[in-house]
Structure 1
Amino acid sequence: MLLILVLLAATQSRASASETRPSVVVQLARELHESPLPMRSDFAWLALTQMAEFYAEEAARARRELGHTSRAGDASQWAASVDDYARKIQSLADSITTATPIIITVGIDNSVHVYVDGQPVILTGAISGQQSVYEQRVVERFCILYICEDLLPELEYSEREQSAALTQTDATRAYWSFSQYAGPVCMTHDGLEFQFQQATDLGEKREACTRVVAELSELAMAIAREQQQGMRVDWNVLKVLPAAADEPQRVILATRIEIQLPLPMLAENPGLLKMVRPWLKARVRGEAYSLVVLNAGRLMGLGDRPDSSAVIQRYPAFNNDRE
């Protein structure tokens, strides 16, 4: 009988420990508490940006679901306040620079706080009904930038199967990192990395990189759709032509074959499209490809002053196929 009681107590103890185990974002925050500032900056920017996206999505959902009901007025007012808060959170995220003081703390109740230049934001319990999804997004995006197996070796990481066919859910998205020696870096989960020489005007750089990445993603999916219908792309003549304001750009895919897409950034910066062409070709095929673009500010038309070695190399792009 004593042995049975001991076994029951041990089982209950293990179950209790499992139930109270902190979430991955809490464990990650503990590891980052005394990490280098660039790593804390990356985590803070990702966490706040994802929070702003969730609040904006929640506001849009409320407008859709209650817009034609008797509660439309209240829903509109509530959504407006949520949108306003989302903008404030995003503004705080965009204020982060390489020198911004960032503090990450975990309370005794496993609450995670991020302090951006002294301004606190609580991450845990912030997203009603979707907290676990929010935390998963933050961790997944952070682990694109860092090797999380080293930070949290006890966690299990499973390989995801990737389909070669591009769909809307495969859209390329930009992530920002302050942790590269080459300066601020805008990167994507599927192999693009844009390095900026200067840490000034980060808001402008973020906006430009986000637009470029979105346009490249849209172009890749459009080409994939055309190829599924039997069209062959001549990658040597691929170009995006300028268009009048508020009109889509003409995209030349081959001789006498063109489509129209809203790609103003690529039209204004043809050198950038030419440089990322190998990545774009691999992306359309569903193949892994890594491409690093130096002096991205110049190529995006921002006038980011390159260093002398980059000038000599004429904005080189280094690419390595991933294993």
Structure 2
Amino acid sequence: MGGAGQYQPLVRRGTEATSTRVARTNKGGRQQVKLVIAGGYPEQQLKALRAEFPTVNFVHAPTPADVLREVPDADALYGWGAVNHEVLAVAKKLKWVHGPAAGAEWIRSVPEIIDMPIQVTNGRGAFAATIAESAFGMLLYLTRNLGIYAENQKKHAWAPAQRAAHVGLSGLTLGVLGLGKIGTAIADRGQAFQMEVIGCDAHDVARPSYVKRFWLLDGLNEFLKSSDVVMVTVPITPESRGMISATRLALMKKCSYLIVVSRGGIVDEAALPGFLHSGHLAGCGLDATDPEPLPADSPLWDAPHTIITPHTSGWSTQTSAAVVEVFKENLRRFIAGQPLFTPVNKKLGY
């Protein structure tokens, strides 16, 4: 697997890539694109973009009112959650929206965009390495009792946990639910830990040769029964919401581990504490919950053998750099009228 910032062309299932040339020209006779950047954006990065793409008119629109004012004659729009009904109603020339996040569930809040001639891209691939590292950080925290030792260290206590309480990863079966970019990065690391890797996905995706078994979603129950560790990387969709119900949690192996690094709401979070208190699950790592922030009175905070992080599994300096590179590659292709780099299937929402 390549490091952050190294990319290969992606083909999304069910996505027909289209190209659009922008006809506006500047004083030098070159094609010019008006690209609105919504929300906060570092001025230094904006200067760098202007220097690298002189034919692009980058317009910073920090507030929603600024976006509404600037978007009517814009060719492209960049931003976290910048698109709403009001924006689409006035964006008569808009041809491309780029959301720098890995997810694109915002599309379901503006379903009219599906039939509009607007291409959508996301930051797919930029987050994979760091999220995979975070997922294994959570797993090792649980299997090696690092939480216990961190507390003992505060007490200056040299107090080994019981030998049986320590679990090695070699030989365990890692089940990856969702074999996209993030899921594949997790599978790569599982294979490096000498785990047996199995997978499950909504589509018959291309997958590494070391994935020993694979199921479509109609085999999800068997997948859960077969896994010592389940890592959830699927996007949140109407189909995936509540996918791992209390009934399916009960199918998981006794003393197995569950790690969620994509979105909350896929696992029945109300049922989850009971499986942890009973010992049916040996541990759980959650980087995403529903809702977010997780309410202070949620039973998940006090569930045993649980680590919760505030949706930060994708944060790193490498990710930040990779997010910019993905955006720039899409922009290069947009200017050239080529198929975009990370197209989102608007009907599927990913």
Same-fold status (TM-score > 0.5): no
TM-score range relative to shorter protein: under 0.3
Larger helix proportion of the pair: 1
Q: TM-score, normalised by structure 1?
A: 0.23
Q: Which has the larger radius of gyration?
A: 1
Q: TM-score, normalised by structure 2?
A: 0.22
* Higher relative contact order (Cα pairs below 8 Å, separated by 6+ residues): 2
